[in-house]
Amino acid sequence: MTSTAKTATRSAFLAGFRDGAPFVFVAAPFSLLFGVVATDAGLTLAQAMGFSMLVIAGAAQFAAIQLMVENAGIAFVLLAALAVNLRMAMYSASLVPYLGAAPLWQRALIAYMNFDQTYVVSVARYEKDPGMSVPARVAYFLGVATPITPVWMAMTLVGILAGQAVPEAWSLDFIMPIMFLAMVAPMMKSPAHIAAAAMSICVALALAWMPSGTGLLIAAGAAMLTGALVEIWMERRGS
């Protein structure tokens, strides 16, 4: 790698770190809450920390913990967590055009750190700067993940150790919807995006009765189809 390429890669990493840093303020209380909930559910320190270190997916972790509290079978717990996290497969597929040429070990590391914040921020940057090299894209993605991932682990540990010391009145569960709004709102740049978002909201609300977040998966599919159809319609209208 030339010195120019190294400089570009380093700059991309620092830019990613800068863009990912604000999400620490939502990841910290969210992971703190998970630590408290995991302790209340009867998990040991090693089990709760292993959960956060292996999964790094708040929604799936909370869904699994809730089912464990309700004494659901292990197979159902795993299936529910998988269903909630299936959106990561969509994330991975959309990252292939940008990162598919990276070495295997880098793709494996990206797969481990591929969660909502890293995906949304990175894709927005890739779309904004299509001339980025693959090494720079990898560096940017890892830069976004660098401030968030350690905080997620550390605050989970704090939540486990604090346990009942965190008052219920704090109601930290409001963090999750605010975080998603902060990520999604800046990406509403075209009629296709707006139509997809509107469709996902309508379908998700209509299917809120479905178990373990499966309605969200259907809503995601409906949103993607809607966005694609609107884009096709706009292209035909412009031609």
Indicate if 16 and 126 belong to the same structural domain: yes
Domains identified in the chain, total number: 2
Can you say whether the dihedral through the CA atoms of 193, 211, 80, 53 is positive or negative?
A: positive
The CA distance from 18 to 24, in Å, is: 11
Predicted model pTM: 0.73
Indicate if 170 and 94 belong to the same structural domain: yes
Residue 114 near residue 94 (C-beta atoms within 8 A): no
Q: What is the pLDDT of residue 165?
A: 61
Q: What is the pLDDT of residue 222?
A: 84
Going by C-beta distance under 8 Å and a sequence separation of 6 or more, which residues neighbour residue 101? 134
Write the DSSP assignment of 161-219 as a string of letters: HHGGGS-GGG-GGGHHHHHHHHHHGGG--SHHHHHHHHHHHHHHHHTTTSGGGHHHHHH
pLDDT-derived band at 21 (thresholds 50, 70, 90) equals very high
Indicate if 124 and 202 belong to the same structural domain: no
Indicate if 135 and 162 belong to the same structural domain: yes
DSSP assigned state of 102:
S
Indicate if 207 and 102 belong to the same structural domain: no
Q: What is the pLDDT of residue 32?
A: 84
Q: 99, 189, 174: which is closest to 135 by C-alpha?
A: 99
| pLDDT above 80: residue 93 | yes
Q: What is the pLDDT of residue 186?
A: 57
Which of 162, 183, 204 delimits the end of a domain? 183
* Type of residue at 114: N
Structural domain harbouring 220: 188-239
Residue 147 near residue 17 (C-beta atoms within 8 A): yes
Indicate if 39 and 103 belong to the same structural domain: yes
pLDDT in tens, 24-67: 888 888 888 888 888 877 888 888 888 888 877 777 777 777 77
Indicate if 45 and 121 belong to the same structural domain: yes
The CA distance from 115 to 179, in Å, is: 13
| pLDDT above 60: residue 182 | no
Which of 183, 201, 217 delimits the end of a domain? 183
Indicate if 178 and 232 belong to the same structural domain: no
